[in-house]
Structure 1
Amino acid sequence: MTSAILPDAATTNWVDRHAPPRLRPWLKLGRFDRPAGIWLLMLPGWQGIALAAAEQGRWPNPWLLLAVFVGAALMRAAGCAFNDIVDRDFDAQVARTALRPIPAGLITIKQAWLFLVGCSLVSLLILLTLGWVAIGLGVLSLGLVAGYPFMKRITWWPQAWLGLTFNWGALLGYAAAVGHLSWSAALLYASGIFWTLGYDTIYAIQDIEDDALAGIKSSTRRLGDRVQVGVAGFYLASFCFVVAAGWVGNIGPLFLPLAALFALHLSRQAAAVRLDDGSGALKLFKSNAVAGLIVFAGLVAGLWKPGVSF
């Protein structure tokens, strides 16, 4: 059976253009053909590292940034595989997901479990280099990862659980940088939760009709015609919490212009949300990689403070 391009993957993605045919189902199982999710899992970790560095008046450790990038890519792949194992029956009923490797019959359940274990073991090796507090946080995150695929069955707010999961890296990155946690890190984590709640509500617009037929719950279905107001509210909360994180962490004034740019980016997304525009929703969702980079850049810029050299 030949591999097919997923409906929500760009037809020019590097997997379909360059990867050997035998590897394509595996790379698609880990969503390596759609890197937006890697960015969205990685960036909270980078933000946590940058926040810790700015509080101490130094540049973020480049090796730590690299470790978080590789770990995020692998754990996102493992999480996607687990999600597809659990959701294989649902995925077969949704047009956007029916061609994923498991429901399409390209990869068996046993093979998917082996892929998941392999990615997780390499991620564990990286985690073991980050210090005991980070290791403990990494272990705790497994409960969030394991619980996520089931949330759409029991709550209208699985996007909130995804926020708890995807932004755990903010705490882990901060702890890896300084060996402890702080209130500023907790506020950054809260900001990320609402950020994810907003962008994943937008993402779920693509599936709203199929989700209703399959009985899958989502914040998008719950909000209905109020989805634009809901997303705007989530994004406002995210902005308020990230500014509070900067204030509590005594981040320098150069953080504020970039925080304002983050707010502008999010407000333009909220204004553009349309419940009947799935392709537009996907574009808005993908633009959040830029939003996350703006916060990271702002935290790095915030290491400068008047009268302090570095």
Structure 2
Amino acid sequence: MDFKKFSELIMIEQTLFALPFAYLGILFAGGGDFITWIWATIALFAARTAGMSFNRYIDRVIDAKNPRTSGRALPAGAMKPGDVLMLGVGSSALLVVSALMLNSLCFYLSFPAIVLLYTYSYFKRFTSASHFYLGIVEAAAPVGGYLAVTGEFDMLPFILGAVILFWIAGLDVVYAILDVDFDRKEGLFSIPARLGKEKALAISIACYVLATGLLALAGFMTARGIPYWAAVFSTAIIFYRQQSLARHDDPAAAIHEFFLLNRFVSPVLFAGTFVDVFFK
């Protein structure tokens, strides 16, 4: 498997932009040490690789039918299903090892995390709530980052996790608008396919408002300073612009800018929190 095929399979650019969410949890936990950052990075990379591999393997038949996804590695025949499945298994093992190197709580939680990664793709086959299930999967990043430092449960990491849950769910609802006709034809479940575009967009904006409110709550709970609040304000502006784009008459035409803006969310939040933690 060459690097180009691997990077396309796991959408490596999204993995890189997901890393700051784990780092956000580390920062809210006090910053941790260098070794914690290394093993948390490995754990998240392994989790993303496992999740994307399982998703591509499980959805390979559906992806082949959808014009939007038929060019992906498995439907296009660029990779073998068995190789992708083994990549998912190997990445899952790496996740367990890296979690063990962090602390015992992370190790024990790595097993239900793998279950979440493996089962997401099945949810859209029987429930429109699959957007929120994906949000739960992604929410594990800041929760895991926080627990990697503290090794114990607290309310704060779950508030951070809820930020990601609602943001990703709202994002995925917009993304699903592109596949409404296909989902209805194939009997797949999504909020846009079930409720239509307008109601789906209303749910998406509610998710974004909740995510922004929870970012504010986390800031108040930890007495964050100006850099953090500047990052939250910038994120709110990005969210507003994204929701404006989602209401475009032709969502497919606006989707490129929508996801381009999406790439700024995690770096902005990470940068503001990093400066606030280490330089205030």
Q: Same fold (TM over 0.5)?
A: yes
For the aligned residues, what is the CA RMSD? 2.4
Could you give the per-residue CA deviations for residues 17-38 of structure 1, whole angstroms, max 9, x where no partner exists? xxxx955444433333xx12x1
Are 2:200 and 1:236 aligned? no
SS of aligned partner of 2:101: coil
Deviation at 1:200, TM superposition (A): 1.6
CA contact (8 A) 1:134 1:173 kept: no
Q: Could you tell me how far apart the structure 1 residues matched to 2:253 and 2:93 are? A: 36
Q: Percent identity?
A: 23
Deviation at 1:214, TM superposition (A): 2.0
Are 2:191 and 1:211 aligned? no
CA contact (8 A) 1:95 1:210 kept: no
Tell me the residue number matched to 1:264. Answer: 237
Are 2:155 and 1:175 aligned? no
SS of aligned partner of 1:258: helix
Are 2:131 and 1:159 aligned? yes
Are 2:263 and 1:289 aligned? yes
After superposition, the Cα gap between the structure-2 partners of 1:211 and 1:276, relative to the gap in structure 1 and judged at 3 Å, is: farther
Q: Give the AA of the match of 2:68.
A: R
Mark the runs of 5 or more structure 2 residues left unpaired by the alignment: none
Q: Could you tell me how far apart the structure 1 residues matched to 2:70 and 2:147 are? A: 39
CA contact (8 A) 1:199 1:285 kept: no
Q: Give the AA of the match of 2:270.
A: F
Q: Give the AA of the match of 2:129.
A: W
Show the 5 A alignment for 1:18-97. Answer: 24-32=4-12, 35-36=13-14, 38-53=15-30, 59=31, 61-97=33-69
CA contact (8 A) 1:171 1:186 kept: yes
After superposition, the Cα gap between the structure-2 partners of 1:40 and 1:162, relative to the gap in structure 1 and judged at 3 Å, is: farther
Tell me the residue number matched to 1:16. Answer: none
Tell me the residue number matched to 1:139. Answer: 111
Q: Could you tell me how far apart the structure 2 residues matched to 1:140 and 1:271 are? A: 37
Show the 5 A alignment for 1:81-120. Answer: 81-120=53-92
After superposition, the Cα gap between the structure-2 partners of 1:50 and 1:23, relative to the gap in structure 1 and judged at 3 Å, is: closer
CA contact (8 A) 1:94 1:211 kept: no
SS of aligned partner of 1:107: coil
Q: Could you tell me how far apart the structure 2 residues matched to 1:289 and 1:137 are? A: 28
Deviation at 1:240, TM superposition (A): 0.6
After superposition, the Cα gap between the structure-2 partners of 1:208 and 1:69, relative to the gap in structure 1 and judged at 3 Å, is: farther
Q: Could you tell me how far apart the structure 2 residues matched to 1:103 and 1:221 are? A: 24
CA contact (8 A) 1:162 1:196 kept: yes
Q: Could you tell me how far apart the structure 2 residues matched to 1:217 and 1:71 are? A: 31
Residues matched between the structures, number: 278
Tell me the residue number matched to 1:56. Answer: none
Tell me the residue number matched to 1:12. Answer: none
CA contact (8 A) 1:255 1:302 kept: yes
TM-score by length of 1: 0.81
Could you give the per-residue CA deviations for residues 36-74 of structure 1, whole angstroms, max 9, x where no partner exists? 2x1453232111011112xxxxx5544433433333233
CA contact (8 A) 1:162 1:197 kept: yes
Q: Give the AA of the match of 1:44.
A: F
TM-score by length of 2: 0.89
Task: Name whichever structure is richer in helix by fraction.
Answer: 2
Deviation at 1:171, TM superposition (A): 1.0
Mark the runs of 5 or more structure 1 residues left unpaired by the alignment: 1-20, 54-58
CA contact (8 A) 1:228 1:271 kept: no
After superposition, the Cα gap between the structure-2 partners of 1:120 and 1:162, relative to the gap in structure 1 and judged at 3 Å, is: same
Q: Could you tell me how far apart the structure 2 residues matched to 1:43 and 1:66 are? A: 13
SS of aligned partner of 1:129: helix
